[in-house]
Every structure is written in C-alpha cells, then in structure tokens.
C-alpha cells in the first residue's frame, strides 16, 4: 500500500460512510474527516452508527458491502467523467465528490427505474434507521449514550424500568362534532 492511500477495508468503510452521510448529513468528526462532508450541524448517520448497522448480520447486507462500495465508486468515477470533475486520487471516488455531487448521484441511483435502485434504497433505508432508531443498539443503551438521532428527535426518556408510559396524553375534551350519521356502535353508517 502506498503511503496515504487507504487500504481496501478503509475504502469500503469511507465509501459507505460517505453514502450514509449523504442520506443523513452530519458535522465532521475531525478537521481531516473526508468521508463526512460536514454539510449539517450535529451528528448524522455516520456517528449514529450507519456502518455498524449495515455490518450487523441482521440486515442481511453485510457480506455484500464490499461489492456495494466498489460499485458506488465506479458510479462516482463515471459521474465525475460525465461532469468533467477532477477527483482527488488519494480518496475513494465517491468520497472525493463534493456533497452536492454526492447528493446528485445518490438521487440518480435511488430514482425509480434505476436498475440497481433496490441496493441503494436498502442502504439508504438502513442509514436512515441508524439515525432515527439506532437499530444496531438496544434503545435504552442508545439513549444512555446520547445517540445523536434519538436526541435530535427529542425522543422521550422511559420510566425507571425501561418502559415508556405517558400519564398525560389527552386534551381531555370534545374537540369536534361527530359525523351526523355515526351509528350507535361508533362506526360510519
């Protein structure tokens, strides 16, 4: 391996991170973070655990992630060619794309009619789930660890036994007139 050139494992991880970061963008983990574009404030899909989630056996995608990363980088290379973009040769091609270009390419790959759309939609769905549900972790652990997605959504804390209960849940008053044809069982006529 040449100095400064990432190995295959790093290429795979960085490429998947860059994809996940396109779905739910976040701030850079460090000034020299290249996979995360830094397009939004706060943690995004990457720090939420997108790659960890994709790698869990439960998703069924783990064995193919290397192939997906290679495929994505080929698309990025082709995209750069079409748009006359110079890519940093020390980076995986998708990582070397700017955030707007990553976004445009992901838009193409997930659009109705794209032959590989099922693959890219699946990775996008799991990237979303990493942020919205922390599906690679027990939810209690995720909350305790300050998971960025659940925190950003304001996901409420459970009771001390780890279960959610909301004793205040209702405005407690009639807020509309019933449909005039409502039957005695409460159904539509």
Partner 1 sequence: MTSTETTDILVVGSGFGGAIAAYHLAAGGARVVLLERGPWLEGEDFEHDFKLGSSYTRIFDFVVGDGMSLLGGNCVGGGSVVYFAAMPRAPRFVFERKGNIGRRMWPSTISRDTLEPWYDRVAEALPVTRQDWDSVTYSGGLFAAACAHAGRTANPVPVAIDGDRCTNCNWMMAGCRFDAKRSLLFNYLPAAVAHGAEIRPMHEVQHLSRTEDGGYRVHYTVVDDEDYRVHTGSGTIDAKIVVLAAGAGATPVILQRSEGALGAMPAAVGRYFSGNGERLNTAILDEDRVRDLLGLSRGDGAAYGASQIGKGPCVASWDRLDGTLPEYSRYSLEQLYFPPGFGTILAQVPDASGPTWFGVEKKEIVRRWQSWLTIFTMSEDDNEGVFGPPPATGNAERISQQMLGRGPIRYRPTANTLRGWAQADAEVRDIMERDGLSRVMPWTNDVVGAYTVHPLASCRIGDDPNTSALDDRHELRNHPGIFVTDGSAVPGALTVNPAMTIAALAERAIPGIVQAARQRGVEVTYGAPSPDGATSGRRGALPFVSGLVRK
Binding to partner 1 (CB under 8 A) within 74-93 occurs at none
The verdict on 98 binding partner 1 (CB under 8 A) reads: no
Residue 77 or residue 103: which is nearer to partner 1 going by CB? Answer: 103
The tokens for 58 are: 């439960």
Query: Rounded to an integer, what distance in angstroms lies between the CA atom of residue 189 and that of residue 179?
Result: 10
The one segment of 8-16, 66-74, 89-97, 148-156 that binds partner 1 by CB under 8 A: 148-156
The answer to whether 55 touches 62, Cβ cutoff 8 Å, is: yes
Residue 4 or residue 60: which is nearer to partner 1 going by CB? Answer: 60
Q: What string marks each residue from 13 to 52 as x (binds partner 1 by CB under 8 A) or -?
A: ---------xxxx-------------xx---x--------
Instruction: Compute the radius of gyration of the chain from its Cα atoms.
Output: 22
From 15, 3, 9, select the one nearest 96 (Cα to Cα). Answer: 15
Query: Rounded to an integer, what distance in angstroms lies between the CA atom of residue 79 and that of residue 84?
Result: 8
The verdict on 2 binding partner 1 (CB under 8 A) reads: no
The verdict on 162 binding partner 1 (CB under 8 A) reads: yes
CB of 5 to partner 1, least distance (A): 30
Q: Is the dihedral of CA 61, 64, 70, 75 positive or negative?
A: negative
Task: Please pick, from the candidates 33, 52, 85, 122, the single residue that binds partner 1 as defined by CB under 8 A.
Answer: 122
Number of H helices, E strands in the chain: 9, 0
The one segment of 7-15, 27-35, 74-82, 175-183 that binds partner 1 by CB under 8 A: 175-183
Task: Please pick, from the candidates 6, 30, 103, 116, the single residue that binds partner 1 as defined by CB under 8 A.
Answer: 103
| Residues 6 or more apart in contact with residue 39 via CB below 8 angstroms | 21, 25, 26, 99
């Amino acid at each position: 391996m040449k100095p400064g050139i990432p190995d295959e494992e790093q290429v795979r991880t960085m490429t998947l991170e860059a994809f996940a970061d396109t779905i739910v963008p976040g701030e850079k983990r460090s000034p020299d973070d290249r996979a995360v574009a830094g397009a939004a404030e706060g943690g995004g899909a990457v720090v939420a655990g997108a790659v960890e989630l994709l790698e869990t056996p439960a998703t069924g995608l783990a064995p193919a992630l290397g192939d997906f990363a290679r495929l994505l980088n080929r698309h990025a290379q082709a995209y750069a060619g079409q748009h006359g973009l110079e890519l940093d040769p020390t980076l995986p091609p998708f990582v070397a794309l700017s955030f707007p270009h990553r976004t445009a390419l992901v838009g193409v790959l997930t659009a109705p009619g794209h032959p590989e759309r099922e693959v890219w939609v699946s990775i996008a769905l799991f990237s979303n789930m990493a942020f919205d549900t922390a599906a690679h972790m027990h939810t209690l652990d995720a909350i305790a660890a300050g998971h960025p997605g659940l925190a950003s959504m304001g996901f409420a804390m459970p009771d001390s036994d780890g279960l959610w209960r909301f004793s205040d849940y209702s405005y407690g008053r009639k807020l509309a007139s019933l449909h005039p044809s409502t039957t005695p069982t409460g159904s539509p006529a």
